[in-house]
Structure 1
Amino acid sequence: MRIPCFLSISAFFISFIPALSQDLKLDKNTKYALSKVDTARIKRDITYLSDDKLKGRLPGKEGYQMAVDYVVEQFKQTGLIPSGDNGTFLQKLILRKATVNTSLSSAILKDKNGNQDTLVIGKEITLFPNALQNKVLAEAPLVFAGYGIDVPGKYSDYDGIDVKGKIVVVLSGAPKSLQLPSSIQAHFGNPAAKMRIAAAKGAIGIIMSTDTPGPASTLGSGVTLAMDTARTSAIGRNSIGKLQLSARVPYSELARIFMNSKKNLKQVLAILEQGKSSSFEFPLSILVQYSSAYKDMESYNVIAKIEGTDKKLKNEYVIHTAHLDHLGIAQPIKGDSIYNGAHDNASGVACLLEIARTYKKTGVKPRRSILIVMTTAEEMGLLGSAYFAAYPTVPKSQIVADINTDMPTLIAPLLSVAPLGAEHSGLDKSVDFACAQLGIEKQKDPMPEEARFVRSDQYSFVLEGIPALHIKYGTKTMDPSFDLVKFTKQWRDANYHKPSDEITNSFDFNAAKKYVQLNFLISYSIAQTTNRPKWNAGDFFGTVVE
């Protein structure tokens, strides 16, 4: 795919525009470092990591190990300090694939009169496996809890109901009528958030359904989670945590449950869409028993440090993350079955390698230390980042921010960006500073309906209380009549998570250079500023950690 010629523009650099503080200026070493960002090296790294011989970098396979070895070698050549386990560049974790044995599972609805209705596993109800408890038997009353959300001081589906020891039935997504910011809307629409809230309210299980007719979801028949090496905790957005049961039912089954409640489903949905809660206890209970089987494999995050120069601040860390994995070999499309992941996310890894070189090779002296973290199993549910954020190789209290890079989509000149999540904390000032240096326009998320804030590794850090952001492309072009969002969407529809995501597909390496410069300047401004970034006063994500 060719980019229209009127989009061509060279990357440029504005020497100094104060935006973060009156004290922060770019010295000659830093300006020199920015000028030395090398598109040839970026292209070389992407080319290797997306080569067919790596077979799509699937964790647990030889191709992923080749990617790990390549990154380790680049870290060594750059002169970075190992910051993984036991003086190495690697942090080991266990990836556990858990599946439900449907032949040993059952689900039975019971009413107040003792009548029973057996649900067909995989059709009328789909179960999430339990990664820690091999066999589960759960029986409890059912309670309808709307969308299963709880916005402190604004709205709660749990007002007026007692769910302790019960199983909640909730809807997927979040009501638009609440007019929540896109990042918070995405958070509450995430099933992991619904499970966390249900558990915090004392429920023992959760059953999710859609609010519109459609086919049954197949999610739940198998999930992969990150385990600690002792296998005593399971981490990941599909982890049911403290709950005994997590399941899904199709809309048709939800409607059937409502028929026994003397409540009208459509009327309840209409009330919810008005931004009003409509929760109640069903005159039903459910008995579920199921068995989970496990398959474990080792995988690795790859971690290196650029040590800070300030006697005190060097013990604090600004983190750059990018996921190293992709989808491996899968369903052939047009005869190609290798999902190379050049844009997703070999390009992100290449950008971080170049950021590391920019710090290390050109005399830049950050006051805080910088960690470069290449994560595993992002495509399996943000597992590598969730593991690192929960069990970091540096003190968690000393991590001040995460700057994530995932599929920067380098297919057009980078004239504007949407810093997902930055608006919740002082990181927004660092973005302002970096954008001002490069003449880049900062915009709001142009696609809030995509819920991108919860779909990449920065979300793992947010859930641990660490300010984080993810820089995505904006909408600005040289020709205002050209719809870059539409163009990018068409490109993504054709190439995202497909074998056609290869090095030969539409790279703009001037945009890559500018992207590296921008993300470098964001971390540099954080590293140089004495006060660490804080959540904005009263911000939701500043209090989201349990």
Structure 2
Amino acid sequence: MLSVNTFRLIALCGVFLLPSANAAPFQFDEKTYRQDVETLASDEFEGRGPLSKGETLTVEYLEKAYKAIGLKPGFGDSYRQAVPMAKITADQTMQLTIADVVLNNGSDFTARTEQIQPQVSLDNSDVIFVGYGINAPEYKWNDYANVDVKGKTLIMLVNDPGFATQDPDIFKGNAMTYYGRWTYKYEEAARQGAKAVFIVHETAPAAYGWNVVENSNTNTKYTLVDNHKNQSHIGVMGWVQHHGAQKIFSAAGLDYDTLKLTAAKPGFKAIPLKLKANLTLKNQIELATSYNVAGILPGSSQADEWVIMHAHWDHLGKTVQDGKTRIYNGAVDNASGVAGVLQLARHFKAQNKVPKRSILFTAFTAEETGLIGAQYFAANPPVPTKQLVSFLNIDGMNVGKGVNYILRYGQGVSELETYLDDAAKAQGRTVKADPRPQNGLMFRSDHFALAQQGVPGLMFMSLGDTDPDYIAHKYHQDADDYDASWNLGGVEQDLGLISDIIEKLANNNDWPKWLEESDFKKRRAMDGK
């Protein structure tokens, strides 16, 4: 019999939720879901910051939940995977000076480092404008051609030239490629030998306001500890406000807006600004261990083949500003997703029939600081990556009413898109393309770390899609709190869809393939898949 919540959803959406022919109907336990979200997003959990009291409470809560559900430990005899990390807290009284331009931390720029050093300094560092900071041979684009950036400070634009031009023949037009992500820009600059990077922030190409940059970069940050051999990281990872960039270029006798247009054209050449940058970045460093958490439902006939269902457990923790404590509870991002994974785990454990393949239910640390927990898991999986069938990732759920569509992030990426199409059709829903492809969400959550190891994935995200106010006033803000008035029709709807996909993947012999040519496809081929 359909639940009261399901009938409510039918009335709201005009769609009928049909389970897979071989699966028991997904039963949404609204009371337990609300309890999980409310607890994880409570002030007591202090914003679930890694290496904090909030982490201790979160990991203990998840471990207890996995045991109560009846899942086996996901890492040998433990539910925890130790992730060696450094907690780096920068002194926020710093200033950045470039020529006679003085920029104030927080309001004008941000700076941090992933190098485990008590101090990183820029002492009269040469400043070079390198356009978008991209070296992409497949697009015949190299902003580093014929310029020596070793030891220097780079200023670069956010996103990629495709977004700037809206030309589908340049990169992927409006849809951001990985070359537009800030993570890539810092990584490539480090490979080129630069000392510092300052990415110019503009809201449209960044896909979020300066408040997100400031909140995400002016508090404690984290990095993996790899025997302290992390000098491959850029020394200074910075952002600068648009108005600050205009002042810097003006000091060099140049016009920022004119050069921005030039940088979006093929053949752009880096421009030394003939200015010197000075900054002292002082850090407090704490070496500690964070944890990924996982529980497994062992399969039967194909138990060595794993389907992964995931949501990152961390958020931004808490800060003290002007004597006031601000707690970033991350109720939607991503307590809603973690609670969703627990619902799915309960559903599959309650089935009479054991799936053929094993299902691993995971929650990783430090997604908000650059997918750190996911990167560690991808490099140190409990079984070889060739045994990982797929990675399904929830990063924020639709806590409002159900809708007649599901969002697809990316197009023509992998055969998992067919699974999404089929599951949506079974619910009477359509698959809708990402309405904001310029945001590059394909590269901004934990599934991407597994994709880099060749494991195909799907992301399920609803951040602002049904709540236009969310991105502007709640995303990475202290207003992302649990609300007892949430309808949760969208959560019930999407968990039903995801359970259908898991059921199929866990009971067939399919190995979903990458469709487009990419490094992901090449990596999967190395595993013989």
- Common fold, TM-score beyond 0.5? yes
Matched, 1:536 2:515: yes
What are the Cα deviations for residues 397-447 of structure 1, in whole angstroms up to 9, with x where unaligned? 433322111221220114211122464122212212222332221110123
Matched, 1:98 2:88: yes
Work out which of the residue numbers 186, 191, 205 in structure 2 matches 1:195. Answer: 186
Work out which of the residue numbers 102, 113, 125 in structure 2 matches 1:129. Answer: 113
Aligned to 1:478: none
Counterpart CA distance in 2 for 1:106 and 1:326 is: 27
Work out which of the residue numbers 223, 232, 235 in structure 1 matches 2:228. Answer: 232
Matched, 1:524 2:503: yes
Aligned to 1:408: 397
CA, structure 1 residues 146+341, in 2 after alignment: closer, same or farther (shift >3 Å)? closer
Matched, 1:512 2:487: no
Counterpart CA distance in 2 for 1:273 and 1:119 is: 28
Aligned to 1:357: 346
Matches within 5 A, 1:137-216: 141-158=126-143, 160-163=145-148, 165-167=150-152, 168-175=154-161, 176=163, 177=165, 178-179=167-168, 180-181=171-172, 185=176, 187-210=178-201
- Whether contact under 8 Å (1:93, 1:387) holds in the other structure is yes
- Whether contact under 8 Å (1:147, 1:157) holds in the other structure is no
Aligned to 1:479: none
- Whether contact under 8 Å (2:9, 2:402) holds in the other structure is no
Counterpart CA distance in 2 for 1:39 and 1:319 is: 23
Aligned to 1:395: 384
- Whether contact under 8 Å (1:322, 1:373) holds in the other structure is yes
Counterpart CA distance in 2 for 1:494 and 1:242 is: 32
Counterpart CA distance in 1 for 2:522 and 2:248 is: 35
Counterpart CA distance in 2 for 1:162 and 1:533 is: 42
Matches within 5 A, 1:23-102: 26-27=21-22, 30=23, 32=24, 34-51=25-42, 53-84=44-75, 87-100=77-90
Counterpart CA distance in 2 for 1:252 and 1:343 is: 32
SS of 2:132's partner is coil
Shift of 1:142: 4.2
What are the Cα deviations for residues 260-301 of structure 1, in whole angstroms up to 9, with x where unaligned? 767654332222345663434455566766543313444322
- Whether contact under 8 Å (2:135, 2:141) holds in the other structure is yes
- Whether contact under 8 Å (1:93, 1:300) holds in the other structure is yes
Aligned to 1:420: 409
Shift of 1:534: 2.6
- Whether contact under 8 Å (2:109, 2:239) holds in the other structure is yes
Counterpart CA distance in 1 for 2:83 and 2:252 is: 46
CA, structure 1 residues 501+270, in 2 after alignment: closer, same or farther (shift >3 Å)? same
CA, structure 1 residues 225+393, in 2 after alignment: closer, same or farther (shift >3 Å)? farther
Counterpart CA distance in 2 for 1:96 and 1:259 is: 38
What are the Cα deviations for residues 59-98 of structure 1, in whole angstroms up to 9, with x where unaligned? 44444433322322221222211013x5110122244332
- Whether contact under 8 Å (2:13, 2:402) holds in the other structure is yes
Shift of 1:495: 4.8
Shift of 1:303: 0.6
CA, structure 1 residues 360+130, in 2 after alignment: closer, same or farther (shift >3 Å)? closer
Aligned to 1:315: 304
- Whether contact under 8 Å (1:183, 1:453) holds in the other structure is no
Aligned to 2:422: 433
Shift of 1:309: 2.5
Aligned to 1:446: 435
Work out which of the residue numbers 329, 336, 340 in structure 2 matches 1:347. Answer: 336
Counterpart CA distance in 1 for 2:66 and 2:353 is: 17
Which residue identity is paired with 1:193?
Answer: Y
TM-score (norm 1): 0.76
Matched, 1:14 2:18: yes
Work out which of the residue numbers 456, 465, 481 in structure 2 matches 1:501. Answer: 481
What are the Cα deviations for residues 462-492 of structure 1, in whole angstroms up to 9, with x where unaligned? 3444322212359xxxxxxxxx95x521356
SS of 1:315's partner is strand
Aligned to 1:23: none
Counterpart CA distance in 1 for 2:480 and 2:250 is: 48
Shift of 1:525: 3.0
CA, structure 1 residues 340+196, in 2 after alignment: closer, same or farther (shift >3 Å)? closer
Shift of 1:306: 1.8
Which residue identity is paired with 1:530?
Answer: N
Counterpart CA distance in 2 for 1:448 and 1:90 is: 35
CA, structure 1 residues 202+394, in 2 after alignment: closer, same or farther (shift >3 Å)? same
CA, structure 1 residues 371+35, in 2 after alignment: closer, same or farther (shift >3 Å)? closer
Shift of 1:542: 4.3
What are the Cα deviations for residues 370-410 of structure 1, in whole angstroms up to 9, with x where unaligned? 21111233344433333323333333343332211122122
SS of 2:339's partner is helix
Counterpart CA distance in 1 for 2:146 and 2:57 is: 53
Which residue identity is paired with 2:503?
Answer: Y
Counterpart CA distance in 2 for 1:5 and 1:399 is: 34
CA, structure 1 residues 507+124, in 2 after alignment: closer, same or farther (shift >3 Å)? closer
Counterpart CA distance in 1 for 2:246 and 2:403 is: 48
Which residue identity is paired with 2:461?
Answer: K
- Whether contact under 8 Å (2:175, 2:438) holds in the other structure is no
Gaps of 5+ in 2: 1-7, 204-208, 525-529
SS of 1:362's partner is coil
Which residue identity is paired with 1:91?
Answer: Q
Structure whose CA Rg is larger = 1
Counterpart CA distance in 1 for 2:411 and 2:78 is: 32
CA, structure 1 residues 437+169, in 2 after alignment: closer, same or farther (shift >3 Å)? same
Gaps of 5+ in 1: 17-25, 110-115, 235-239, 475-483
Counterpart CA distance in 1 for 2:174 and 2:305 is: 27
Which residue identity is paired with 1:363?
Answer: N
SS of 2:87's partner is strand
What are the Cα deviations for residues 228-281 of structure 1, in whole angstroms up to 9, with x where unaligned? 4x65366xxxxx844344444455664565467676543322223456634344
Counterpart CA distance in 2 for 1:403 and 1:99 is: 32
- Whether contact under 8 Å (1:378, 1:456) holds in the other structure is yes
Counterpart CA distance in 2 for 1:330 and 1:253 is: 25
Counterpart CA distance in 2 for 1:405 and 1:129 is: 28
Counterpart CA distance in 1 for 2:452 and 2:328 is: 30
Aligned to 2:258: 267
CA, structure 1 residues 134+412, in 2 after alignment: closer, same or farther (shift >3 Å)? same
- Whether contact under 8 Å (2:176, 2:439) holds in the other structure is no
SS of 1:488's partner is coil
SS of 2:467's partner is helix
